[in-house]
Structure 1
């Protein structure tokens, strides 16, 4: 059969598919819900890993995927419930037919009111059908909106990082180009957002449409709007779908607000986690990192209760830590900063470069050991950190402290760091970890 949209037979096929689409909707919804519920924990774990590893681009991509999955699950569950209600209503209609208000024998006031509000059972079935059909389309339209918003945010970040903050480009041109692009993105984003909220107001006024069109054209490609534009305009040209689209955003905001409410059990214990000497944070103890999404945020020791004659201290690496070391020892900073987003397809290291790298690594480690000190209670202990990975595959620095002469009972470990502030060197506490020591 011809796929020409003007062909009458093709239109007949579409009308037929339209009438029978509920079967496909239920089938797709069922498989999608099952797949998404299975996938979303893995997406969440990957997102937490990316966040811990400071992989901004991966985190942004996974966050977008997580939000999209959440929207899909929520909307498809509602769709299945409504479609189930629709099927139930059809079954009831087959048995009972339409509503016979006279047979109910209600008072005239109630009969008139019910006839006005309900009209007929067929109208109820038709309304359910409309909501089910539209909700399925809305679900995927919202996913496109999430993707568009994510791309817009990434565009701002890309301009800031790749142009404005790019030291390899001349300062004046990069500043001019960067500021121009940021201004264009800001104005374009605001105009597109206003046009979205007003459902096309900027396209209706002659002088506004002339100003808006260049931004509209650029953003249609930038945010992939051209992929779902027919869906949007099909929504806006119908009164029912137009009302529904207006209702959607406030409803999601309301749901988010409602979900944020929770029962508070105490005035004090909830805030105890901010008092490091009074709170046992599970992320500070290696043996308690059980779940896939449990990661070290700052540092760990092996457990809350130590029975060994040593204390294993692991300090996780972060990009900020390296910046702190550069501040303390500026000569450590390389001429070419290789951190950031890059490819390792072509990678070559000569013998001389390997020797230089080894010597710099040793120097790096030396500076780290100089700037980081381990204290138990108020006593400083000797430490010799080496580069290592923990059981969560997080890279960092690891050392073992001899505590066989430590008294039994509760103790407080403090990992302190030397920090340069102007001309002075001060000592700050990075983390405080309580533990108990009992000899075997």
Structure 2
């Protein structure tokens, strides 16, 4: 009974294997459509990720994960388009074979040199179709193998960052008992992961060495679980158990290098434009009405470069990563509305308990506003949630009707905390130099 079930299952797999090209094309076409539709959402998600990083260094762990997500997007759409093209070529060869059968080189009447060369390279049209079929299936399987490998890399990198933050917090909180555990575990995690990666890209070289395979076994088991590689382990070993599959897996490294080089390639056609032109450039992103909607701005912005009603509208973003330390030094009596990275449940209540007027007064001391080198001494600020940029900060509107018609300069100095001779010191630094035109 068990043998009959096994034979039936094997027969079903063989039929499914022969008809798998239909499923491959269906999945590829559907995935390409979804990936193309998700491109704009991916850009929006990137903006949200980088917006979080302005609040705390801890959110920086999301950046490499997002980069892996973006890499996965590119790998999927490029490889699946390639797969569809190859499948289209394979289907076309089958159609041509139905019409004309095998290639008749004698009928073509080529010269002996080309006749010998082509007969050697194209042994049989059926063999060509078979190799093309194998290539299509390999490309399809290879694509999803790369995706799972990227997921494993993301999990591993996240682990390193979490350990780094744990070490930093333990050191800052003076907890030596945690450091005694974390330092050796971090060492094991990093170097063990490196050994695991070397074994992976060398197709199991360490597992073949009997003298060290016993010591490597617990490392292999640990990282197989941590990186979820057990999910795609069967696919990986099925690929490397034959010569053709091994070549495909070994192609992972040059594939990653080529992909990285192409994605980082830029073109510079303006030979006589300087790279640094801070004071000499008119940037669209310094004005809300010309902002591109994607670039994360950590600097101030005006509503428009043109002032037609005598009032200048200025927005100053709050960058928690740097501004939190300034507030702590500038106003030590103010209790923060929240502590830590994550906040659940009582967030609104905690913020309501904070003295908003005192907080606003403290934030107002962080800025100096100049127009044409003249300091504005009576600037009134208010908290403001920017509706387009999605970040929080301060806003102010001040009267510039006394200015003459034409170009003027808005300069902003911001307080920063700097460690000078082992002591935190607050100093003003010029951060923005924004031109505007009064009509």
Contact 1:283–1:295 (CA<8 Å) still a contact in 2? no
In 2: Cα distance, 1:100 partner to 1:180 partner: 69
1:227 pairs with one of 226, 231, 237 = 231
Q: Count how many residue pairs are aligned between Structure 1 and Structure 2.
A: 428
SS in structure 1 opposite 2:278? coil
Moved more, 302-311 or 19-28: 302-311
Q: Is 2:180 the partner of 1:176?
A: yes
Output the aligned Cα RMSD.
Answer: 2.6
Q: Is 2:300 the partner of 1:311?
A: no
In 1: Cα distance, 2:417 partner to 2:256 partner: 47
In 1: Cα distance, 2:292 partner to 2:241 partner: 53
Give the aligned partner of residue 381 of structure 2.
385
Contact 1:277–1:412 (CA<8 Å) still a contact in 2? no
CA distances 1:24-51 after superposition (whole Å, capped 9, x unpaired): 1101111110011101320221122221
CA distances 1:85-104 after superposition (whole Å, capped 9, x unpaired): 00011111111111112222
State the shift of 1:295 in Å: 4.0
SS in structure 2 opposite 1:414? strand
Q: Kindly report which structure 2 residues correspond to 1:263-412, keeping only aligned pairs within 5 A, or say none.
A: 263-269=267-273, 271=275, 274-291=276-293, 293-326=294-327, 328-329=329-330, 331-332=332-333, 334=335, 338-340=339-341, 342-345=342-345, 349=349, 354-355=352-353, 357-358=354-355, 361-381=356-376, 382-392=378-388, 393-412=390-409
Q: Is 2:59 the partner of 1:64?
A: no
Give the aligned partner of residue 434 of structure 1.
435
Q: 1:181 to 1:5 in 2, by over 3 A?
A: farther
Gap regions ≥5 residues in structure 1: none
Q: Is 2:113 the partner of 1:118?
A: no
TM-score (norm 2): 0.90
State the shift of 1:330 in Å: 6.2
Gap regions ≥5 residues in structure 2: 54-58
SS in structure 2 opposite 1:268? coil
Q: 1:261 to 1:296 in 2, by over 3 A?
A: closer
SS in structure 2 opposite 1:412? strand
In 2: Cα distance, 1:262 partner to 1:228 partner: 35
Give the aligned partner of residue 189 of structure 1.
193
In 2: Cα distance, 1:259 partner to 1:270 partner: 24
Give the aligned partner of residue 46 of structure 1.
45
1:75 pairs with one of 71, 76, 79 = 79
SS in structure 2 opposite 1:269? coil
Q: Is 2:96 the partner of 1:97?
A: no
Contact 2:415–2:426 (CA<8 Å) still a contact in 1? yes
CA distances 1:194-229 after superposition (whole Å, capped 9, x unpaired): 112211101000122122111111111100011110
State the shift of 1:62 in Å: 3.9
CA distances 1:337-373 after superposition (whole Å, capped 9, x unpaired): 6131x241466848xx944x12xx4333222211211
Q: Kindly report which structure 2 residues correspond to 1:406-425, keeping only aligned pairs within 5 A, or say none.
A: 406-419=403-416, 421=418, 422=420
State the shift of 1:17 in Å: 0.4
In 2: Cα distance, 1:64 partner to 1:332 partner: 42
1:107 pairs with one of 96, 101, 111 = 111
In 1: Cα distance, 2:19 partner to 2:242 partner: 21
TM-score (norm 1): 0.90
Contact 2:314–2:395 (CA<8 Å) still a contact in 1? yes
Give the aligned partner of residue 134 of structure 1.
138
State the shift of 1:249 in Å: 2.6
Give the aligned partner of residue 145 of structure 1.
149
Contact 1:53–1:318 (CA<8 Å) still a contact in 2? no
SS in structure 2 opposite 1:331? coil
Q: 1:257 to 1:354 in 2, by over 3 A?
A: closer
Moved more, 142-151 or 329-338: 329-338
State the shift of 1:181 in Å: 1.8
